[in-house]
């Protein structure tokens, strides 16, 4: 397959964005980067990425632009307004939002961008810091099929499981389903370890027994060892996971769904944030149980 070099803009050089932008540059693309804190991009700049001081400046130079920011409010700030991507990108530019954000915002971006002659995709990912570093992300994509085909070679640099889920917003809805599944699996893994400790068992030995059986999951295999090692560094921040759970709850309510497990997970992570753990990784849910901070049932 022939290689087509793109001029790619990457907005948001965080825990995952740094690795993702690096993979694209290493694959031979010209990568322009913008982030609010330039120091986060210094390693990429040293490797050959091009720094842009303004989102508008980046938009003017790139034919493919990927955004990987924190919150829906950040997405709105980057895409809209006189200094935003939509106003400053050249006609024909493909805008790809890989932030986990609101499905309705993805639809709005698609509609406003189309009126400016721009193509868009919402393409949130799963896999955390490990998936970003190893280029094994799962990428869930919403938008027009033609835009997806244009972006697919870039996605293949970043991930392994890449699926076009449907029209604008479909990628974000898929990611919400993903986050709901993670919330249940992670909470179950934490409670399993908490139970094993209280029963006087060696939790690492218990893990050896249950991880390869029907209880096995990615969360059990990857997050429980971090918990037991006392490693609560963020592969994915609690504050961002809480944001995702709230987006999922809002979307579910809009669709008339009642999801009690999701509601419970939101309460647990809200408690973590309240106790000052927002900058820790999602596996820090373990600390809520270890320190007796779990809110009473029904509250």
One domain for residues 148 and 198: no
What pLDDT shows up at residue 299? 46
Domain assignment present for residue 299? The answer is: no
Encode pLDDT of 185-214 as tens digits: 999 999 999 999 999 999 999 999 999 999
- How far apart are alpha carbons 15 and 96 in whole angstroms? 18
Q: How confident is the model at residue 2 (pLDDT cuts 50, 70, 90)?
A: low
pTM score of the predicted model? 0.92
Q: Please give the share of the chain, as a percent, with pLDDT higher than 70.
A: 98
Domain assignment present for residue 296? The answer is: no
One domain for residues 204 and 112: no
One domain for residues 156 and 246: no
As a whole number, mean pLDDT of residues 133-154 equals: 97
One domain for residues 162 and 40: yes
**Residue 222: both structure tokens together:** 């990857």
**Residue 84: both structure tokens together:** 């935003």
Q: How confident is the model at residue 242 (pLDDT cuts 50, 70, 90)?
A: very high
Which structural domain range is residue 186 located in? 173-290
Domain count of the fold of the chain: 2
Are the beta carbons of 131 and 103 closer than 8 angstroms?
Answer: no
**Which of 18, 133, 150, 175 is flagged as catalytic?**
175
Encode pLDDT of 158-174 as tens digits: 999 999 999 999 999 99
Residue 1 has pLDDT above 60, yes or no: no
Average pLDDT of the chain? 95
Active-site residue 40, yes or no?
no
């Amino acid at each position: 397959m022939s290689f087509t070099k793109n001029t790619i803009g990457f907005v948001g050089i965080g825990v995952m964005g740094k690795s993702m932008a690096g993979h694209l540059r290493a694959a031979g693309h010209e990568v322009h980067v913008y982030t609010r804190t330039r120091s986060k991009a210094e390693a990429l700049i040293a490797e050959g990425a091009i720094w842009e001081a303004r989102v508008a400046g980046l938009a003017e130079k790139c034919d493919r632009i990927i955004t990987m920011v924190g919150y829906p409010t950040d997405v709105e700030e980057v895409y809209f307004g006189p200094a935003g991507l939509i106003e400053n990108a050249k006609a024909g530019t493909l805008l790809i939002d890989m932030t986990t954000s609101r499905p309705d915002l993805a639809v709005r971006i698609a509609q406003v961008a189309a009126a400016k002659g721009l193509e868009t995709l919402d393409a949130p990912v799963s896999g955390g810091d490990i998936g970003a570093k190893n280029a094994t992300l799962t990428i869930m994509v919403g938008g027009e099929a033609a835009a997806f085909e244009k972006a697919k070679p870039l996605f293949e640099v970043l991930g392994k499981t890449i699926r076009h889920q449907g029209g604008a917003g479909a990628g974000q809805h898929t990611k919400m389903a993903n986050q709901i599944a993670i919330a249940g699996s992670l909470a179950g893994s934490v409670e399993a370890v908490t139970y094993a400790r209280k029963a006087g068992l060696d939790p690492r030995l218990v893990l050896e027994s249950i991880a390869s059986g029907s209880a096995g999951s990615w969360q059990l295999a990857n997050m429980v060892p971090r918990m037991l090692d006392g490693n609560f560094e963020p592969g994915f921040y609690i504050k961002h996971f809480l944001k995702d759970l709230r987006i999922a709850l809002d979307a579910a309510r809009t669709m008339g769904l009642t999801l009690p497990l999701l509601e419970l997970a939101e309460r647990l992570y809200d408690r973590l944030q309240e106790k000052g753990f927002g900058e820790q990784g999602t596996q820090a849910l373990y600390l809520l149980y270890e320190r007796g901070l779990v809110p009473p049932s029904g509250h």
